[in-house]
Structure 1
């Protein structure tokens, strides 16, 4: 039986797999995904092994392939993370997605490359840092009374801020890192963010993610909720075009997150290639689809 590693981190793994006693508030997503994959993998003769990506190298002995899973602290250790992937790949372990895709996807400036290739993206200002004056200037630039500022290297909405003209940060506030500023899009609250999950380049399932209460963040950490989303042919074609435009031909999975602009077009929020949650509750065949794709890789 082929052994397949599933990366986690101390804050997502259960204690039985080496996780910490106090897990993240969204660690239940790790459990849901592992359960779905374990079931699908078993039927395909694959064994799923949960493992901390920072575990000693000998812990990876005998693995044929690793999934980047819920390594949800990688953004705090990007160089160490990529170095671990390179080391595993150099020893003949199939890394999914591969190190070169991770390098490209780590910094959200990849969105500029997608835009240059014809994809519709959310209007964005890219800055080495930002202060109160630059937040106000961004509102003028976008003709918007509200903006969202994010890390260029970040994940899960962590370290993210939203400001209005009436709630600008204090005069001594700084983001303190390379960042991106975008106009707040009302569609996030009106219809949500749409996720398109692809396995081996083929559409698997769709998800509509909506925020809770007065929040704008759709992640479960902030009370967001998910529902099955069946995209129209046009919306699916738009997402598929983004996948087709990615500069990699060997991706096991891709999650394309999109939001509708005021003019009705779907725009890319993120092309998640590293460690995205793949929503097994909305994609009931996720385990079987990934198992079949992995089996094909192992046979080649």
Structure 2
């Protein structure tokens, strides 16, 4: 039997003292993957990514899984992935790709390569004056300020022209500033899940009433989405533009603009939730892809 690791963290592991509010998504992933992996003579074992290197003895391949605290410990996380690779463990997605994807300035690179993205200003420090300047630049009364290294909308802020933060406020992290796009509430975010380069399934995510964040942690809901050929092609084009090595899994998140064309929001290559409830074949597809990678080693 081949042992496959699924990296988790202190707040997604079952039995942890204080699990995240969305830790149920970890449970759904494991429930979808375990039987599919077992059918291919693979044992799926959950490991805290911060565990000692010796804890990974006998594991041939690790998926980054639900390592959902990595953004607060990014240097240590990247070092651990590289240490695992150096120890002969196949890491998916690969450390070089993860390092590239960990800082959202990768969106600037994709835009320079021709991807249609949301207009963005990149700032090391954000103050109320900087927020107002961004509103002038984007000709809008609302902007969203996000961490350049971040996940799950944690720490991000929606700032309105009429209610700027106090004069001494700063965002606290290197940031990306974007105009708030009402389509996120009215039309939702579209997510396209790819396994080994092939589209597995797609979904539409909508925020709770009065919110703009689509994650379940904030009351967001997800529904199966049947993508149009144009939408599927747009997501596939982003996937093809990613640097090598090719990802085992990817989630391409997009938002329709005013004319209905998809804009890239994120290319999630590190530890995205892959929505097995909306993609019931996710387990078998991922098990097949992992088995191929193990056999090719």
In structure 1, distance between residues paired with 2:84 and 2:45: 15
Deviation at 1:263, TM superposition (A): 3.1
Classify the secondary structure of the residue corresponding to 2:213: coil
Classify the secondary structure of the residue corresponding to 2:143: strand
What 5-or-longer segments of structure 2 have no aligned partner? none
Conserved? CA contact 2:94–2:245, under 8 Å: no
The residue number in structure 1 matching 2:261 is: 265
Deviation at 1:249, TM superposition (A): 3.8
Alignment of 1:28-39 (within 5 A): 28-39=24-35
Which of 201, 206, 212 lines up with 1:210 in the alignment? 206
Alignment of 1:80-229 (within 5 A): 80-229=76-225
Classify the secondary structure of the residue corresponding to 1:26: coil
In structure 2, distance between residues paired with 1:264 and 1:278: 24
- For this pair of structures, how many residues does the alignment match? 296
Classify the secondary structure of the residue corresponding to 2:151: coil
What 5-or-longer segments of structure 1 have no aligned partner? none
Deviation at 1:132, TM superposition (A): 0.3
In structure 2, distance between residues paired with 1:290 and 1:108: 26
- Give every structure 1 segment of 4 or more consecutive aligned residues whose post-TM-superposition deviation is greater than 2 Å: none
1:45 and 2:24 matched: no
String of CA shifts for 1:170-221, please: whole Å, max 9, x gaps: 1111012210000001110111000000000110000100000100000001
Deviation at 1:44, TM superposition (A): 1.2
Classify the secondary structure of the residue corresponding to 1:177: coil
In structure 1, distance between residues paired with 2:17 and 2:160: 38
In structure 2, distance between residues paired with 1:94 and 1:155: 24
The residue number in structure 1 matching 2:2 is: 2
In structure 2, distance between residues paired with 1:162 and 1:226: 22
Deviation at 1:133, TM superposition (A): 0.6
In structure 2, distance between residues paired with 1:239 and 1:213: 27
The residue number in structure 2 matching 1:11 is: 11
String of CA shifts for 1:115-160, please: whole Å, max 9, x gaps: 1111101100000110001111111110111110000000000000
Deviation at 1:53, TM superposition (A): 0.1
Deviation at 1:168, TM superposition (A): 1.1
In structure 1, distance between residues paired with 2:252 and 2:44: 25
